[in-house]
Amino acid sequence: MEISQEEKKIILGLARKSIASIYSKDDNTNNGTQESTTLNSKCGAFVTLTINSELRGCIGYITSDNPLHETIKDAAVQAALNDPRFPALTEEEFNIIEIEVSVLSEPFPMNNYDEIELGKHGLILEEMGRRSLLLPQVPIEHNMNKDRFLSAICQKGGFNPFMWKERTLNINLFTANVFSEKELEE
For 80-131, the pLDDT digits (tens) are 999 999 999 999 999 999 999 999 999 999 999 999 999 999 999 999 999 9
The answer on 159 and 145 residing in a single domain is yes
Same domain, 25 and 93: yes
- Residues 57 and 101: beta-carbon distance below 8 Å: no
Among the candidates 104, 119, 138, a domain finishes at 104
State the virtual CA torsion across 79, 4, 63, 168 in degrees, nearest 10: -100
Note whether 85 and 60 are same-domain residues.
Answer: yes
Q: What is the span of the domain harbouring residue 141?
A: 108-174
What residue spans of the chain are helical by DSSP H? 5-24, 68-81, 91-94, 138-141, 146-156, 163-166, 181-185
Q: At what angle do helices 68-81 and 5-24 cross, to 10 degrees?
A: 50
Q: How far apart are CA 119 and CA 92, in angstroms?
A: 33
Q: Are residues 99 and 146 in the same domain?
A: no
Beta partners for residue 179, in sequence order: 101
pLDDT at position 32 is: 56
Predicted confidence (pLDDT) per residue in 162-183, tens digit? 999 999 999 999 999 999 998 8
Task: Give the Cβ contact number of residue 25 at 10 Å.
Answer: 7
Let me know whether 97 and 116 are in one domain. no
Contact residues for 46 (Cβ-Cβ < 8 A; gap 6+) = 58, 59, 60, 61, 75, 101, 102, 104, 135, 176
Q: Are residues 130 and 100 in the same domain?
A: no
Q: Does the pLDDT value for residue 31 go beyond 60?
A: no
pTM: 0.89
Nearest CA-CA partner of 100 in 177, 31, 34, 152 = 177
CA triple 44-48-49, angle to 5 deg: 155
Confidence of residue 185 (pLDDT cuts 50, 70, 90): confident
Percent of the chain exceeding pLDDT 70 equals 94
Residue 179 lies in a domain: no
Instruction: Give the 3-state secondary structure of residue 179.
Output: strand
Region 50-79 average pLDDT = 96
Tell me how far apart the alpha carbons of residues 179 and 128 are, in angstroms, rounded to a whole number.
Answer: 33
Spatial neighbors of 112 by CB under 8 A, at least 6 apart, are 168
Residue 73's domain is classified under what CATH number?
3.30.700.20
